Each structure stands twice: as C-alpha cells, then as structure tokens.
Structure 1
C-alpha cells in the first residue's frame, strides 16, 4: 500500500501538483517510515515548494536510513545542502556539500556535477556574508540603511506568517509572496550598494569572483586551467589527479586520460588579469 501511495505521489509530482504529491509521500511515510526513497521523494517535492526546514528533515532521515557512507545517500546529501542554503546556513551547507562531493568522486556518481554546483553556491554565500560584514564596517550609513531594509523584510515575513496562521492565505500564496518579499529585499540592497559605490567612487563596493574563474574540483580560482574533451575547464593539478585516479571525465563520465587535457590559454590570461587587479581573491 505504501509503495502505491509513492507511485501516485510520483504521478502528481510529474503533473506539477507538488502539494498533492507531498501529502501522498507523507501518507507513505506514515505507513512505512523505514523506506528512504519516500523521504527523498518528499524532500525533492519540498524543494520545489521551498519548504527548506522540511527538506532538511527529510534529507537527514534518508541519509540515516541509507547510511552516511552509502553512495545511495549522495542525492539526499545534495538535497540537505540545498536546504541548508535555503535556511541561510551557508557554512553548514558547504561542509555537507564538499564532503558529499568528495564521496561522489570516489563513487564515480552521477551526482558529482550537482554537488559541485552546490559547493560553489555555498562558498559564494559564505563570501557574500563576509562581504556584507566588510562593507558595513566601512560605512555606518550603509549599515543603518541595510538594516532598515532587513527590518522591513522581517516585518513583511511575520505579517505573511500571521495571514497563513489565520487562514487568510493558502500555503501556495504564502510561499509565492514570501519569495517575492525576499527578492525585493535583495534587489533593494543591491541598488543601495550600487548607489554607495558610485557615491564613493568605487571605494565602497561588493567584491565578486566570476563563476567561470573557479575550478570545479578545488573550488579555488584557477591559475593553470586546462580544458577536457567535454569542453569544461579545470585547474591542471586537480583534474590531472582526478583523471589519473578515475580514468573518466568528471562531467560526462566518458573515459579520459591526462593526454586528453589541453591548455586553456584564454582562460589562464583572464585568471591572471583578475588576480592582478583583485589581490584579495587569492584568499577567496
């Protein structure tokens, strides 16, 4: 019966009825709480609904059921990292994602690319938090204005939660409005920072590392990038070690050797120019 509920949930998920799918997966879990796929399916559904606390709960339950060391847990650990990012716990997200990423390399798992992207997102979130602290230390007026924006966001989110609790709005509307409030707040802060950048003639500005300069294995800025047959660039040391150990391309899983790697001179020049003009990025 529980697996029938799961299959019905899968059908609703495919149709885009995420709330209905979540309910059926919940019923399946209540009947069989030892089946990890029920939790992973509900975690995925809750990801679509951006119910991050629920995603965290389900992902952790699935990891416990699969076993931390099992390759089968890698997808659940990816969901967990996404949930932690959604909950603004970027350091925890990074630790979960980088550990799972390394395990995926050993297991030659199809989750490697997803985990790689999540590691980078977590690292960017950690850096963004540090940049916020740095910018606010530089300018008290900026600090005060950003805190006003954040206070306004909290007030709006609390009001939405009250409407949900009173039944004035449904859960779908609540999630949509919540997302819109967060996006507006982020946009307002970025506009504010741009205004301060212009006013200070560049002295007060956010520092950002472009994604294309970051290695997908070490997650550091590349200094000697090479390109694989699949068209993806990596820093030479990391990809050489990876290919020697695994014998496959980390993205396509196709057979590969060190001889297949070719220097990416244009990207190397871009990395060198960026580091020359942004010495702080060495410690990114």
Structure 2
C-alpha cells in the first residue's frame, strides 16, 4: 500500500502537481516510516514548493535511514545542502555539501556535479555576507539604506504569507510573489551600492570572484588551470591528484589519465591578471 502511494505521488510529481505529490508521499510515510526513498521523494517535492524546513527535516531523516557513510545518502545530502541555503544558513550548507562532494568523488558517484554547484553557491553566499558586513561597516549611510530595504522586504514577504494563510493565493502564487519581491529588493540594493561606488570613486565596492576562475575541486581561484577532454577546467594540482587516484573525469566519470589534461593558457592569463589586481581574492 505504501509503495502504491509512492508511485501515485511520482505520477503527480511528473505532472507538476507538487502539492498533491507531497500529500501522497506523506501518506506513504505514515504507512512506512522506515523507507528512506519516501523521504527523499518528499524532500525533492518540497524543494519545488520552497518548503525548506520540510526539506531539511526529510533529508536528515533519509540520511539517518540510509546511514551517514552510505553512497545512497549522497542525494539526500544534496537536498539537505539546498535546504540549508534556502534557510539562509550557507556555512552549514557548505559543510554538508563539501563533505558529501568528497565522498561522491571517492565513490565516482553521479551527484558530484550537483554537489559542486551547491558548494559554489554556498561559498558565494558566505562571501556575500562577509562583503555586506564589510561595506556596511565602511559607510553607515549605506548600512541604514540597505537595512530599510531589508525591512521593507520582510514586511512584504509577511504580507504574501498572510495571503496564503487566508487562502487568497496558492503555493505557486506564493513562490512567484516571494521570488519577485526578493529579486526587486536585491536590485534595489545593487543600485544603492552602485551609487555609493560612483560617489566614493570606487572605494566602496562589492568584491566578486567570477565563477569561471574558481576550481571545481578545491573551490579556490585557479593558479594553473588545465582542461579535461570533456571541456571542464580545473587547477592542475587538484585534478592531477584526483585523476591519478580515480582515473576518471570528475564530472562525466569517463575514463581518463593525467596525459589527457591540456593547459588552458587563456584562462591562466585571465586568472593571473585577476589575482594581480585583486589580492583579496586569495582569502575568498
């Protein structure tokens, strides 16, 4: 009976009825609370609904059921990292994802690429939080304006949550309104920072590391990038060590050797120029 409910939930998920799928997975769990796939399926559905607290709960239960060290838990750990990001807990997300990523590389698991993307997002979020603190400490007026924008955003988000609670909008409407409000607030903050950058002649400026300068294994700015046959660039030291041990491409998992690596001269020059002009990036 429980697995029949799961299959019905899968069908609704494929049709885009995430609320209905969530309900069926919940019914399956009530019938059998020891089956980890019920929790992973509900966690995935809840990511679509933006129910991050529920995703965190389901992912943690699934990980416990699978076993922390089991390769089968890697997908659940990916869901957990996404949930922690959604809950504005990037350091926790990074810690979960980097541990899972290392395990996935060792196991040649297909979750490696998904986990690497979450790690990069988490690291960017951690850096962005540090940058926000730095900029606001540099200029009290900037801090005041940004805090007002954030306060307005919170009131607006509370209003749309109230609309959901009163039945005036559905889950889809809530997610759409939340995203629109968050995007608008971020746009306002970026406009404010740009105005302060111009007025300060560049002294007050957010520091950003471009994604393509970041190594996909160490997640640091590359110093000697090389390219794999699949077209992905990594820093030479990390990818050489990995390929010598695993003998596969970390992204595609296709068989390869160190001899298949080729220098990426253009990217190396770009990274060197960036680091020369942005010494702070060493601490990124």
TM-score (norm 2): 0.98
Q: 1:132 aligns to what?
A: 132
Q: Give 1:111's aligned residue.
A: 111
Q: CA deviation at 1:260?
A: 0.6
Measured in 1, the distance between the counterparts of 2:166 and 2:158 equals 12
For residues 145-224 of structure 1, what are the structure 2 equivalents within 5 Å? 145-224=145-224
Q: CA deviation at 1:108?
A: 0.6
Whole-Å Cα distance in 2 between the matches of residues 184 and 3 of structure 1?
43
Alignment match, 1:258: 258
Q: What is the SS of the residue equivalent to 1:88?
A: coil
Q: State the shift of 1:183 in Å.
A: 1.4
Deviation at 1:200, TM superposition (A): 1.4
Measured after TM superposition, the shift of residue 175 of structure 1 is 2.3
Residue number in structure 1 paired with 2:20 = 20
Q: Distance in 1 between matches of 2:52 and 2:185?
A: 19
1:8 corresponding residue in structure 2: 8
The answer as to 2:233 corresponding to 1:240 is no
How many residue pairs are counted as aligned between the two chains?
Answer: 284
- Return the offset for 1:239: 0.3
CA distance in 2, matches of 1:31, 1:153: 41
Aligned-residue Cα RMSD (Å) equals: 0.9
Residue deviations 1:11-40, cap 9 Å, x none? 111111111111111111111111100111
Equivalent position of 2:73 in the other structure: 73
Runs of 4+ more than 6 Å apart = none
Q: Deviations over 1:77-122 (max 9, x none)?
A: 0000000001100000000000000000111100001101111110
C-alpha displacement of 1:273: 0.1
- The answer (yes or no) to whether the contact 2:153–2:185 under 8 Å persists in 1 is yes
Instruction: Using the TM superposition, give the Cα deviation of residue 191 of structure 1 relative to its aligned residue in structure 2, in angstroms.
Output: 1.2
Query: Deviation string for 1:209-267 (max 9, x for gaps)?
Result: 00000000000000011111111110000000000000101111111111111111111
Write the mapping of 1:268-283 to structure 2, written as runs, cut at 5 A. Answer: 268-283=268-283
